Amino acid sequence: MARALVLGVVGARPNFMKMAPVERVLRRHPRFRFGLVHTGQHYERMSDPFFRELGLPDPDHHLKVGSRPAAEQIAQVMVRLIPILERKRPALVLVAGDVNSTLAGALAAHKLGLRVGHIEAGLRSFDDTMPEELNRRLTDQVSDFCFTHSPEADANLRREGVARSRIFRVGNLMIDTLFRLRERARRSKILARLGLSPGGYALLTLHRPSNVDREDDLRRFSGLLERVGRELPVVFPIHPRTRDRARRFGLWTRPSPALRLIDPLGYLDFIRLEEQARFVMTDSGGVQEETTALGVPCLTLRENTERPVTISRGTNLLVGTRPAGILGGVERVLNGRSRPRRRPALWDGRAGERLVRVLEAATE
Q: Give the catalytic positions in this structure.
A: 207
Strand order in the sheet with 92-96: 61-62, 32-38, 4-10, 92-96, 116-119, 145-148, 167-169
Residue 207, CA distances (Å) to 211, 237, 244, 282 in order: 7, 10, 11, 9
Residue type, 29: H
The span from the CA of 364 to the CA of 354, in Å, is 16
Residue 279, CA distances (Å) to 58, 202, 300, 310, 357 in order: 34, 5, 11, 15, 37
Residue 333, CA distances (Å) to 123, 273, 315, 341 in order: 27, 17, 10, 13
Q: Which residues pair with 207 in a beta bridge?
A: none
